[in-house]
Chains A and B, each alone.
Chain A
Amino acid sequence: MKRLNLLLVLILILSSVLSVSAQDKPFDGQTIRVVLANHAWTDAVAPKIPEFEALTGIKVEWESYGEEQLNQKLTTEFIAGNAGVDVFMTRPLQEGANMEMNGWYYDLAEKTAADVEYDFEDFTESSRSATTFNGTITAIPLVTEQEILYYRKDILEENGIEVPTTLDELYAAAEKLNDPANEFYGFVARGQRSPLVTQLSSFIYSYGGDWFDRDTYTATLNTPETLAGIEMYSNLLKNFGPPGVLNMHWAQCIGIFNEKKVAFYTDASSLYPNLLDPTKSDVAEVTGCAVFPAGPAGAVMYDITAWGLSIYAESQNKDAAWEFIRWATGKENSLFIQGEKAQQLARTSVWNDPEGIKSFPADWAAAVAGSIGAKSYDRPLITAVTEARDLIGGIVVTAIEGGDYLKAADEANVKFQEMLNNEKP
């Protein structure tokens, strides 16, 4: 009798322990495939993934690629239709429209509405609208960025120059500091055909121009305002830029800035770890950040949601995938990633928390604070955005090389209008 009782008690204890752990880990044993981009966010999250695996029992197989390759790889797999992808990083402004049109995003409306603890409303209004297409919540906003001005504090001090607040002041300052004979250049920015378009955008907006009229779908690449922005950008690079600028993406721009060869650099605020982190940069101590200089139409820079995290519509493990997303973008992890790893996330509560902004350098935080809410897009918002970027970038490259950019702008405008006509709703 006693032995039987003991046995029963043991079985009871064992089963309760087992059932508790089964409740703790409802997805135990499942595997999800997570496809990420080579980004500082990935660098911040990747080391913590084993924690997630231990917590939930879900095995995470993750891979990361450069942004272009990521899009190509995902598109190719999605077209084939049997992609084993569960979670992936996506750029709402670049491939969002296309992927949504093809139905590859799983609508997260249900998951976010049901999950009170997750607090989807905590994400800023602009970031939530950036990832919502036609009422479908396509992605959870990951990182945001604005265009700001990086400059060499020491060089400006030495030459008695004030930090430029207008684009004309920037031009004058770059001219004064430009010294190619001693291999010092006044200004650097992206010169590669497609990547430059997003950084060109703030210049165009600050002169009152835009890519196209959103109401009439009329291309505006060769209006006087847009051309003024293009002229300012290309003149800065043509006259005061380093010789290799036409092959420069942000990595090369940062490289030459770190070489102490440049005075001014305009690019995304999210790149600041590469410039202000002493372990990554030689000029960390002497780099300052300022709000993007104003043009005649004001200081109208972009303020965008650059990346989002989505679930594939045909994923076989949507619930496990949502577990990963709610962990990776939840309040706790967001506080860590923004606070410790200094990424610009989109949760209001984390921005309001002193722990969440402690790693940001003071003048960078001021520059970002001054850039909120200007323009929510840094590229034409159409489905064939890659082709459009090539068209627009071609104008700038022609201008930088000293060619007939007015003709190039007219020709590009015609082609761009054709593309817009195909996409008119």
Chain B
Amino acid sequence: MISRWIDRHEKHIFPLPAVIFIILMMVFPLGYTVWNSLTNWTLTSKAPTEFIGMTNYIELFTKDERFIQSVWRTFYFTGGSLIIQVTLGVASGILIDAKKYPGKRIVNSILLLPMMATPVAIAMVWLLILEPTTGVMNYLLKQVGLPISKWLSSTSTVIPSLILIDSWEWTPLITLITLAGLATLPTDPYESAIVDGANTFQTIWHITLPMLRPTIAIGALLRFIDCFKTFDIIYSTTGGGPGYSSETLNIYTYQNSFYYFKFGYASSMLVIFFAIVLGTVLFVTYTRKRLEV
């Protein structure tokens, strides 16, 4: 009896645990965050916590220069990382897929290693490598006669250096997605291309890449969201420094939450953060749908 009732309502009952989980674990904290953002809850203040409405938001956009700059930096970091990672990832995916040779599996596994290492460990190693005076990178560059750089220790080169580290860590993800996409491509267009006399580069440019476009789009969207939220490598290498030059939105929010203990103010930042990410995801999803149709 009960099993028949379950069968009839299967499509409502089976997703139920997941939906309940989302409501409890995700919607409730979000609601609590929005509520906090409307108060002035600060741990280091003797005044009691009061409801202040939109004051935090107004302050963020009108008085807080550090916030505006952190938003720009986040876009700068994300944009730079995306361009490099998608280009290099797709290129290396196509490259790896091109030939079969003994030991290919091992090579592929090695090339995917950076993705699987702990971000904090990666940050520590790169911090050592990129130290201007005592690090290996500048030493090797000098040996070969290339110009050296201050890498993570200068306000102008810190974000490109972070893009370097992030790309080193996550390009293999795009490579993996590309490889998976390449495996599903049909062989017919390739056969007709050979008949038509196309060389390798033309094949890649006119056949492979267009067919890979949806796969690349998914990879780019995933990486956009992750890059935007990047915290571990930035916090572990520079903590937002030198000065404030690598302080992205996530880092600034962390400073406000766990260093300044301004929980109300940090909550308003998080709401804006969430709005940006959600907006981008929705935008990409609906434009993709429209493009496909």
Q: Note all chain A residues with C-beta closer than 8 A to B44.
A: 98, 101, 383-384
**Closest CB of chain B to A307's CB: distance in Å?**
19
Contact indicator per residue, chain A 88-124, by CB within 8 Å of chain B (1) or not (0): 0000000000100110000000000000000000000
Q: Note all chain B residues with C-beta closer than 8 A to A79.
A: 43
Pick from B79-87, B185-193, B195-203, B255-263 the stretch touching chain A. Answer: B255-263
A384 B260 Cβ-Cβ under 8 A: yes
B43 A193 Cβ-Cβ under 8 A: no
The secondary-structure label for the interface of chain A is helix
B155 A192 Cβ-Cβ under 8 A: no
| Measured CA separation A347–B25 after assembly (Å) | 51
Known contacts A183-B133, A401-B155: A387-B260 contact under CB 8 Å = yes
Q: Note all chain A residues with C-beta closer than 8 A to B45.
A: 383-384, 422
Pick from B95-103, B107-115, B238-246 the stretch touching chain A. Answer: B238-246
With A98-B261, A193-B241, A244-B150 known, 11 other A-B pairs at CB within 8 A are A68-B259, A76-B258, A192-B239, A192-B242, A193-B243, A243-B150, A244-B132, A244-B133, A246-B242, A390-B255, A401-B154
Contact indicator per residue, chain B 36-59, by CB within 8 Å of chain A (1) or not (0): 000000011111000000000000
The secondary-structure label for the interface of chain B is loop
Within the complex, which residue of A75, A245, A255, A401 is in contact with B243, where a contact is CB–CB below 8 Å? A401
Q: Note all chain B residues with C-beta closer than 8 A to A72.
A: 258-259
Binding site for A on B (CB under 8 A): 43-47, 131-134, 150, 152-155, 238-244, 255, 258-261
Q: Note all chain A residues with C-beta closer than 8 A to B244.
A: 193, 394
Q: Note all chain B residues with C-beta closer than 8 A to A393.
A: 243
Contact indicator per residue, chain A 284-317, by CB within 8 Å of chain B (1) or not (0): 0000000000000000000000000000000000
Which residues of chain A (46-72) have a CB below 8 Å from chain B? 68, 72
A-B contact pairs, 17 of them (CB 8 A): A75-B43, A75-B261, A101-B46, A191-B242, A192-B239, A193-B241, A244-B152, A244-B153, A245-B153, A246-B241, A246-B243, A247-B153, A256-B133, A256-B134, A387-B259, A397-B155, A422-B45
| Measured CA separation A244–B152 after assembly (Å) | 8
A208 at the interface (CB under 8 A from B): no
A398 at the interface (CB under 8 A from B): yes
Contact indicator per residue, chain A 338-358, by CB within 8 Å of chain B (1) or not (0): 000000000000000000000
Closest to A387 in B: B260
